[in-house]
Amino acid sequence: MEHQGSQPVLSQAEAFARIRLLRSPNIGPVSYRQLLARFGSAGAALDALPDLASRGRAPYRPASAESIEREVLAVRKAGARYLFHDQPDYPALLGELDSAPPILTCRGRLALASEPCVALVGARNASAAAVKLARDFAAALAEAGFTVVSGLARGIDGAAHEGAFPRTIGVIASGIDIAYPPQHAELQERIASDGLLIAEQPPGTEPRGRHFPSRNRIIAGLASGTLVIEAAPQSGSLITARLAGEAGREVMAIPGSPLDARASGCNQLIREGAVLVQAPDEVIELLQSFTGAPRSRFRVADGPSDFDYAELAKLDWGEARVDFSHDIAHLLTNAPVEVDELIRQTQASPAEVHMALLELELAGDLVREGDGTVRRA
């Protein structure tokens, strides 16, 4: 990577290689970062992939250059741009997540993501009162200088975007060129023109169920706090709230009637420690004083201890790696386990365990869960 002043500048070849690396089989945000740390560049990582994945059942084939050329053309045609995780305009709060997307595509005013952000989410089948509440809260938050982040879904999401417009970010589960849901096509285009539209999936990707939790982590990651307005206990909105809690962000909820199932998720969050709010001023006061130590007691179990991926570059990973990866594979079951537990049981260095897990993932033998745990594929 070249440098211009103090800012890193990606060469066109390295940017292309990074897209190709991320689109290759069994590569996710964590393995992508580990590969860059280990080999120093995406080009070198691509060269190493077949050997690293050699324990797999079939020869490993990275994403083809032709497929990436088509993707780049589609991004340009959509009027979008790529944003890489180490570029200066990548949103700082989002970059704090271990699972932060290494590459995003976006349209609109990227500066909105660097301003104070609040996520506002809730039910698709929301009540009329909750929709009005979401619109009014979003308008007040935007007036106070906050960017309102949501997922462009029906119900609460759409109301939040409308109320905050144009100070709003829409995060979609599809490619940047796909409007979803179809009834929000006009709203999505307005946000792309005057607000900010963000997608993690490649262009042309239709939304699938597995894409929505990934979208939710971006919504939670962009914001210093997440406010939930009407949500069922097993809804995606609660996933967003839990992801915000895991990231050490503020979690807030508006209470509702115990007789309305649509409010039970919010009431549950409050019982678990989310901050009860009833007026926009309460949200504004909470987030204007946010210093990284949320007042909400809503917490998920502590995540894995920090590991500096740069340690992978120092690792002498010789012939013993095959036996060690085999040992790690024997410790895995269908039940997720923390990486720290594998380090304790093997008494190996963190770098050795992380490198073995990376090889297992590339071979298709390991799955990383959203909370950082791993399990057998």
Which of 53-57, 134-138, 209-213, 336-340 holds the top average pLDDT?
134-138
323 pLDDT more than 80: no
Question: Which residue do the tokens 């179809």 mark?
Answer: 182
pLDDT 10s digits, 33-56 = 999 999 999 999 999 998 888 766
**Across 266-284, average pLDDT:** 95
Smallest CA-to-CA distance from 146 within 107, 193, 188, 113 is with 113
Reported as a pLDDT band with limits 50, 70 and 90, residue 322 is: low
**Looking at the predicted structure, is the pLDDT value of residue 297 above 90?**
no
Compare 357 and 77 and report the one with higher pLDDT.
77
Is residue 196 pLDDT above 90, yes or no? Answer: yes
Cα separation, 174 vs 374, whole angstroms: 26
Q: What is the pLDDT of residue 3?
A: 47
Multiple choice CATH, 107-288, 3.30.500.10, 1.10.150.20, 3.40.50.450, 3.30.70.20: 3.40.50.450
Beta strands in 249-296 (DSSP E): 250-253, 275-276
Query: Alpha helix (H) ranges present in 62-150?
Result: 65-77, 92-95, 128-143
Q: Reply yes or no on whether the pLDDT at 320 is more than 70.
A: no
- Tell me if residue 264 falls in helix, strand or coil: helix
Tens of pLDDT along 6-20?
Answer: 445 789 999 999 999
pTM for the model: 0.88
Distance CA 140, CA 164 (A): 8
- The CATH code of the domain at 315-376 is 1.10.10.10
* CA angle, residues 19, 20, 21, in degrees to nearest 5: 90
Q: Is the pLDDT of residue 5 over 50?
A: no
Distances (CA, A) of 106 to 113, 205, 212, 261: 11, 15, 17, 36
Q: Flag whether pLDDT at 304 surpasses 70.
A: no
- How much is the pLDDT for 305? 62
Question: Can you tell me the mean pLDDT for 285-302?
Answer: 77
The overall average pLDDT reported for the chain is: 90
Q: Cite the residue boundaries of each domain of the chain with CATH code 3.40.50.450.
A: 107-288
| Bridge pairing between strands 117-122 and 225-229 | parallel
Which pair of tokens denotes residue 34?
């580990």
User: For the chain, what is the largest distance between any 2 Cα atoms, rounded to a whole number of angstroms?
Assistant: 65
Q: How far is CA 339 from each of CA 135, 277, 318, rounded to the nearest angstrom?
A: 42, 37, 22
> What is the distance between the alpha carbons of residues 92 and 115, in angstroms, rounded to a whole number?
10
| Two tokens, residue 177 | 């060129």
In single-letter form, the type of residue at position 24 comes to: S
Question: Tell me, what's the pLDDT at 6?
Answer: 43
Q: Is beta strand 81-84 parallel, antiparallel or unpaired with respect to 7-9?
A: unpaired
pLDDT tens-digit series, residues 133-190: 999 999 999 999 999 999 999 999 999 999 999 999 999 999 999 999 999 999 999 9
- CATH 1.10.10.10 residue spans of the chain: 315-376
Q: Show the CA angle centred on residue 328, arms to residues 322 and 329, nearest 5°.
A: 85
Taking the C-alpha atoms of residue 39 and residue 341, their distance in angstroms, rounded to an integer, is 26
